[in-house]
């Protein structure tokens, strides 16, 4: 019988510095969602032991993710199969030849066809999962659903690119712009910060960027004028009895700082990033005067101001019923918005440093469901689908992989979610062996890998 009592045992795990733990608790909390500025305050903020190492200077500085929630069809967009027969094409039989010889895309995407030299298409994307939640998780994290919730690519990129405060000048410049923004509604619980916690969650703007005044939730009030806001702020400061009685309490200091930052964003110049009225009407029309188009425009403005990851969260792609009617209304909007975004970024010299990544959680059944009640619908299809990537180090004018003649299986060069995400992380400068911040301080590699049981077709070397 072993006689040792647990409390005297010397064989227990590695010692953890208590101070570090407390600091880590403090940091995990201090509200950073909105700003690297908070991180700049080194005199009052201890160093985060869990913070990721600084990302290297990557070719890409920022990412815009165009998320087509619900799962867009691949055969009517980036991988048309005009020869598969009417059972497969439905009424959309034609294609658009692009400005790159040999590449054709769906007939409802003429604008994108004009600039195929600026983006590449992956036509052999696959994970095989047909459930919205699990497929979204796979596509956005590159990881198989399992014991822990991994952060989405947006949170990882932001963790490495925006929460690094070693470059103070840059941090100061980018101080108030939210580093990770989703336009306009959050994607949901499988898509964001995962185990990294609140600090890495995106700022969801709410509101409608196509409205006369883009009422960004919390930042732009639909009801109060700026002077009313200032009066209220002064009143709150005077009447804040507890805060005034406890001016040095560590919790209330955090509260006061958070309120100051909030007001800076509401009343200062930083909030102007959301003012689309400063853009020329002609450009706004080119993007499309609709929520999606103006979200793309807002994304460009945010990237210009230093935001690291913007998700344009578009929905309505889950077209089990009346698929073709939906495509006739949705595809022109996507085509215009996305094409203008890529062109606009290129015109401003930002495309080389900005990745544009368009994808949904899966594709849709290539064979049309004509029977009742689907009335010409397409269902979930994770076996093979397409994604568009542009900029930030991705070459243009290329096609990666191939699906079979009906778009039902990967014909060659499968690309798994982790392959694309791993490639993207390399382009933004994340060390393939870097660890993610996590509450337990464990080593958890940022980049998904085959050793975790994920299938892989290899990094996208052909287009980087």
Partner 1 sequence: MSIRRAAPSNVTLNSPHRGQHRRRSRSFNYQLLQSFTAIFCTVVLGVFFLYILRVSRENRGTASSRSIAASSAANDQLENESLRSDRSELRLGTVPWSSGLPQPGMTTEVSSTHGANPFVSALPAQPLGTIDDLVWKQFAALNIQPAPLCSDEVFLRRIYIDVLGTLPTAEEARAFLDDRDPDKRAKLIDMALERPEFADYWAMKWSDILRVKAEFPIKLWPQAAQAYHRWIRTAIKNNMPYDEFARALLTSSGSNFRTPQVNFYRALQGKEPAAIAQAVAVTFMGERTERWSTERLEDMSVFFSQVGYKPTGEWKEEIVYFDRRKGKDKAAFNEPLNAHLPNSVKVQIAPGEDPRRVFADWLIHEKNPWFARVAANRVWSWLLGRGIVEPADDIRVDNPPSNPELLDFLASQLISADYDLKHLYRIILISQTYQLACIPNGEQSLGAEHFASYPVRRLEAEVLIDAICQITKTSESYMSIIPEPFTFLPEGTRAIELPDGSITSSFLEMFGRPARDTGLDSERNNKLTAAQALHLLNSNHIHNKLKQGSGLSELLSSTPNTAPVDALYLGILSRRPTDDERAMAGGMAGYGDGAQTLAWVLINSDEFLYRH
Closer to partner 1 by Cβ: residue 8 or 461: 8
Shortest distance, position 69 Cβ to partner 1, whole Å: 12
CA atoms within 13 A on the CB side of 417: 26
What angle in degrees, to the nearest 10, is found between the helix axes of 291-304 and 323-347?
30
CA distances 81 to 52, 238, 302, 382, 454, Å, are: 44, 68, 37, 17, 29
**Closest to partner 1 by CB, 200 or 292:** 200
Q: How far is the CB of 414 from partner 1 (least distance, A)?
A: 25
Which residue, 58 or 179, has its beta carbon nearer to partner 1?
Answer: 179
Q: Is the dihedral of CA 332, 337, 338, 339 positive or negative?
A: positive
When the beta carbons of 28 and 283 are compared against partner 1, the nearer one is 28
Residue 201 CB, nearest approach to partner 1 (Å):
8
The minimum distance between CB 277 and partner 1, in angstroms, equals: 20
> Can you tell me the distance from the alpha carbon of 383 to that of 266, in angstroms, rounded to the nearest whole number?
46
Cα distances (Å, whole numbers) of residue 272 to 13, 215, 224, 352: 51, 12, 16, 25
Give the nearest distance from C-beta 345 to partner 1 in angstroms: 27
Closest C-alpha to 448, from 463, 433, 464: 433
Q: What is the DSSP letter of 106?
A: E
Residue 6 gets which letter from DSSP?
A: G
Contact 274, 219 (CB under 8 A): yes
Rg (CA), the chain: 24
In the complex, minimum distance from the CB of residue 299 to partner 1, in angstroms, rounded to a whole number: 19
Q: Tokens at residue 64, please?
A: 């815009």
**Alpha-carbon distance 343 to 143, whole Å?**
32
**Of the two residues 3 and 101, which places its CB atom closer to partner 1 in the complex?**
3
The interaxial angle of helices 132-141 and 153-161, nearest 10 deg, is 30
Phi then psi dihedrals of residue 311, to 5 deg: -105, 125
**Distance set, CA 89 to CA 77, 158, 200, 362 (Å):** 11, 40, 42, 18
Residue among 236 and 285 whose Cβ is closer to partner 1: 236
| Least distance (Å) between residue 181 CB and partner 1 | 11
Residue with smaller CB distance to partner 1, 31 or 82: 31
Give least dist CB 45 to partner 1, A.
Answer: 12
Nearer to partner 1, 1 or 212 (CB): 1
């Amino acid at each position: 019988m072993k006689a040792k009592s647990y409390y005297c045992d010397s064989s227990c795990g590695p010692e953890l510095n208590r101070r570090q733990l407390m600091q880590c608790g403090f940091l995990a909390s201090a509200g950073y969602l909105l700003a690297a500025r908070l991180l700049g305050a080194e005199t009052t903020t201890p160093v985060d032991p869990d913070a990721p190492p600084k990302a290297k200077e990557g070719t890409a500085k920022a990412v815009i993710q165009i998320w087509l929630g619900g799962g867009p069809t691949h055969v009517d967009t980036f991988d048309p199969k005009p020869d598969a027969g009417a059972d497969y094409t439905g009424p959309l039989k034609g294609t658009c030849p692009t400005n790159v010889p040999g590449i054709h895309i769906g007939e409802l995407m003429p604008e994108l066809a004009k600039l195929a030299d600026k983006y590449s298409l992956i036509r052999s994307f696959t994970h095989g999962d047909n459930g919205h939640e699990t497929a979204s998780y796979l596509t956005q994290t590159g990881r198989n659903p399992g014991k822990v919730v991994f952060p989405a690519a947006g949170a990882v990129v932001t963790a490495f690119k925006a929460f690094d405060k070693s470059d103070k000048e840059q941090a100061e410049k980018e101080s108030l712009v939210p580093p990770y923004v989703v336009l306009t509604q959050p994607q949901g619980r499988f898509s964001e910060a995962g185990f990294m916690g609140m600090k890495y969650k995106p700022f969801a703007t709410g509101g409608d960027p196509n409205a006369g005044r883009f009422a960004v939730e919390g930042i732009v009030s639909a009801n109060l004028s700026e002077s009313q806001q200032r009066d209220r702020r002064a009143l709150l400061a005077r009447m804040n009895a507890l805060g005034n009685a406890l001016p040095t309490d560590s919790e209330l200091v955090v509260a006061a700082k958070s309120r100051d930052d909030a007001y800076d964003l509401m009343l200062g110049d930083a909030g102007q990033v959301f003012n689309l009225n400063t853009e020329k009407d002609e450009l706004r029309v080119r993007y499309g005067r609709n929520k999606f188009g103006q979200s793309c425009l807002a994304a460009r403005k945010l990237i210009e101001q230093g935001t690291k990851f913007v998700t344009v969260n578009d929905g309505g792609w889950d077209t089990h019923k009346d698929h073709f009617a939906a495509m006739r209304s949705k595809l022109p909007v996507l085509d215009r918005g996305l094409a203008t975004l890529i062109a606009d970024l290129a015109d401003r010299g930002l495309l080389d440093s900005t990745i544009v990544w368009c994808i949904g959680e899966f594709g849709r059944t290539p064979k049309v469901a004509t029977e009742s009640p689907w009335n010409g619908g397409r269902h979930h299809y994770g076996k093979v689908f397409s994604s568009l990537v542009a900029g930030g180090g991705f070459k243009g004018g290329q096609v990666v992989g191939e699906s079979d003649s009906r778009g039902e299986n990967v014909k060659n060069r499968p690309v798994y979610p982790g392959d694309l995400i791993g490639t993207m992380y390399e382009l933004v400068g994340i060390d393939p062996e870097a660890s993610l911040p996590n509450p337990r301080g464990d080593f958890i590699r940022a980049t998904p890998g085959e050793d975790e049981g994920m299938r892989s077709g290899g990094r996208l070397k052909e287009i980087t």
